[in-house]
Structure 1
């Protein structure tokens, strides 16, 4: 088998010869009347058998296979809608065109015009009357039977991955349908889609380490946003009672099967609603999206059948630690005893300064992996929920939930804190945590507190990880499978 470099060299020589002979290898006047799917629909729905005198179709695509037999050849070509076979005869397209065709390679783009007929095996095939080479490829595609399988190369050369692997193309088609289904769902409920700043003078809305950049003209540092939350809630203050945004967040964290430093989030906010309203809305949304893109509310993920329909399980954080994590409820208020318990279970807890951090870390390790069916966890401590409204009955807790499916967090929502003095105090506590070394703690945002002082109505908001939802609905084990160009180390 020839080395890729040798094949590239031969193709470059062929390209040079074709250019010298006056062949335009990259024309821009291609006329396409039908896609492959449209041609196939016409043949399948034909009222009478099609012959060589069939209606003429103009199609174009990339050649994926070539079988030459002297004065005739079969090719398979593909466009965005599918793949089909074409038959070229020297006496049909002419000597000059057939001579050019003989110099083509798999991976080249061609324009074809002709009618449809059925071969002896019954396969509908385009009988080519006109042939044009419309883009000459320099590099050969991976070998047909082995394709492109190495994950490292697939992620780095996603364009080749998409050419060779139909299942990968289907993942990203489905991802697009997921986003569209969400947009339709929210728009139908009178939510307004908006865009908020990607570069922010103060990062907020989540506990995460931000990326920092510098704006030369303004001579100031800016942060790539970790969340759009505080800007979306400013819009609620301004009178937009229902808003949502689907866009990128950036967090300076590790790369793993569940994390990419650049990722897509849906965040939406609804005035005059509570976190209970959003849990009910989320159940309906996920059912709608699952049925829209898969045809069923029941999906299969990594061997588990997960039911997106119906009313989902709800548990408090304390109950889940007791029932699933094996934690004695009597020690939930004792940080030192919880640290001892965690050590006995092999849980590494690095942020030991605050009780809430210890509790949530124990949950992450001991409980989260067990939550396969959709489960809302509620009752989060105030100290780990700096933007959430306090519970009226248990002021040490907040009206917050996190949604877990297939052993991972998918969404986070809560009744919003709209008391400006309480919010200022929460920010001050975050500033203390940051000064103590917690790089993920919130900054003080005086402008946001001032916005709250103008008055924000009772509101609930939620963030949903689009990448993780796409993983679920495409049965993908790694987040890199659902991000077109995941971040990777330099070669």
Structure 2
């Protein structure tokens, strides 16, 4: 067993926790097994008896915000069914944090500070690309207001992400078409896009952030649309989480982000696959 990644992970975890403790975040622990997975189009939950393993702690975190918590973070295992590849693993470690009163750009600034804290050598020159501009430049069309899911997904992988890889360093894609941001609120002044960004470092996507959607009526509508799309694709259709929608009625404005710890560690160590930083082959 190569013990190098084990020690490097320990150093990274200590750095992450120190960062959030210094900013008065409370570390929380939420269930890994749940009855109702979060409804997202291309993310499938791993069955666990009559429950499912979580794909993210997001649903529980938002309930904590609704109950009055203001700054929370969690580092924990998450799972996705059928995902396996150089940058994908069915079991992975997620860092997720939320702050009330913040939006996605506030969270971006905090993410920059976190990355600088745990990775001293990362470039401080962060390039920010609106999705519309990136697609117009690299794929020849604007998906905002002209959204085609298959075309968007294909062009993102085949045209936009390779261009981001060539740019190198930290690159942020922001303001996604609202159809591609099921849990984020619409952008003020432009309802065609949502306040969502994704962070790539050297072409590897490591974080996904939102200004959180807090309107339960709109969230129900988006869940119903997602359920119809999953049904059309022959995927399992999960029930709508009524407890979550009830919590949204009391949730204040907030920003949140999920960051893949394994991918961050992979980049820190200069590895090219997740397997290189996972000591156990499971």
Q: Which moved more, 1:221-230 or 1:429-438?
A: 429-438
Cα root mean square deviation, aligned = 1.8
SS in 2 for 1:380: strand
Distance 2:11 2:82 in 1: 28
- Shift in alpha-carbon separation, 1:314–1:367, aligned structure 2, 3 A: same
CA-CA distance at 1:367 after TM superposition: 1.4
Q: 1:424 to 1:333 in 2, by over 3 A?
A: closer
Q: Structure 2 CA distance, aligned partners of 1:397 and 1:332?
A: 6
C-alpha separation in 1, matches of 2:198 and 2:39: 15
Query: 1:181-221, CA deviations, whole angstroms, 9 ceiling, x for partnerless residues?
Result: 0111011111111111100000117541111122xxxxxx1
Q: Summarize the alignment of residues 54-453 of structure 1 with structure 2, pairs less than 5 Å apart.
A: 162=1, 168-204=2-38, 206=40, 207-214=42-49, 221-291=50-120, 297-298=121-122, 307=123, 309=124, 311-323=125-137, 325-329=138-142, 334=146, 355-371=148-164, 372-437=168-233, 439=235, 443-453=239-249
**8 Å contact from structure 1 (residues 236, 271) kept in 2:** yes
With CA pairs under 8 Å and 6+ residues apart, which has the higher RCO, 1 or 2? Answer: 2
Deviations 1:338-363 (A, max 9, x none): xxxxxxxxxxxxxxxxx245324311
Partner of 2:269: 474
Correspondence 1:465 to 2:260: yes
Residue 392 to residue 334, structure 1, CA distance change in 2 (3 Å): closer
- How big is the shift at 1:443? 4.5
In the superposition, the TM-score normalised over structure 1's length comes to 0.54
CA distance in 2, matches of 1:396, 1:256: 33
Q: Distance in 1 between matches of 2:45 and 2:207?
A: 20
Give the superposition deviation at 1:440. 7.4
Structure 2 gap segments, 5+ residues each = none
Is the Cα–Cα contact under 8 Å of residues 5 and 278 in structure 2 kept in the other structure?
Answer: no
Distance 1:193 1:205 in 2: 25
Deviation of 1:424 (Å): 1.0
After superposition, the Cα gap between the structure-2 partners of 1:442 and 1:398, relative to the gap in structure 1 and judged at 3 Å, is: farther
For residue 397 of structure 1, give the secondary structure of its aligned residue in structure 2. strand
Structure 1: 5+ residue stretches without partners: 1-161, 163-167, 215-220, 292-296, 299-306, 336-354
The structure with more radius of gyration: 1
Aligned length: 278
2:187 is paired with a residue of what secondary structure?
coil
What CA distance in whole angstroms lies between the structure 1 residues aligned with 2:107 and 2:77?
22
Counterpart in the other structure of 1:105: none
Q: Is the 8 A contact 1:374 1:406 kept in 2?
A: yes
Report the secondary structure of 1:378's partner residue: strand
SS in 1 for 2:272: coil
